[in-house]
Amino acid sequence: MTTKHKIAIFASGYGSNFEAIARAAQAGEIPAEVALLVCDRPSARACQVAEQLNIPTFAFSAKEYGSKAEYEQAIVERCNKAGVELICLAGYMRIVGETLLGAYSGHIINLHPSLLPAFKGARAIEQALEYGVKIFGATIHYVDESLDGGKIIAQRAIEYEGNCLEEITAKIHAIEHNLYIETIKKILNKE
């Protein structure tokens, strides 16, 4: 029997990557149990999906806490209680601070919608489109104290010659799901 590693997924919005990873875990495609969803927007679709899939959720509003360190400490406590081994950021729109990094250093990965080190930050796809690139993609990297600067784990590229933000965003999302699932599987299997 394969060991199921406990992972937490962090999301802020729609949660399509969260849903893809959770369904893959529940189907046995990756040796993981999604032990926790962490979401900084309690009204986000990701929270509704977690409820449908019976995944425990910590949904919070940063405004309810006095500082980033306070809400990150609350996150760390919930991750520890759930036995989380790996944190997967999937559309989590907050910069991870030193409290969370200190507790899970080397065990936090992020999905970014560009071929890093190019086009860091929240507007990566828009920036790439404005720049006129013809090769777009997605990167999964370890999270460190820099913005989208941690060690790269995996990348996947696609060619696109159009200029429609919605179209290229959809194409990138299509490759993100498989790339993230494959990468999580490799990390957990220590490949």
Nearest to 95 by CA among 143, 25, 152, 167: 143
Q: Which residues in 17-85 belong to E strands, given as ranges?
A: 32-39, 57-59
The Cα–Cα gap between 57 and 131 comes to 38
Checking DSSP bridges between strand 152-159 and strand 5-11, what pairing results, if any? unpaired
Query: DSSP 3-state assignment of 72?
Result: helix
- Among 112, 141, 173, 177, the active-site one is 112
Give CA–CA dist 93/127, Å, rounded: 17
Closest CA to 83 of 180, 177, 3, 178: 3
For the question of residue 173 being annotated catalytic, the response is no
Would you please indicate which residues are annotated as catalytic (active-site) residues?
Answer: 112
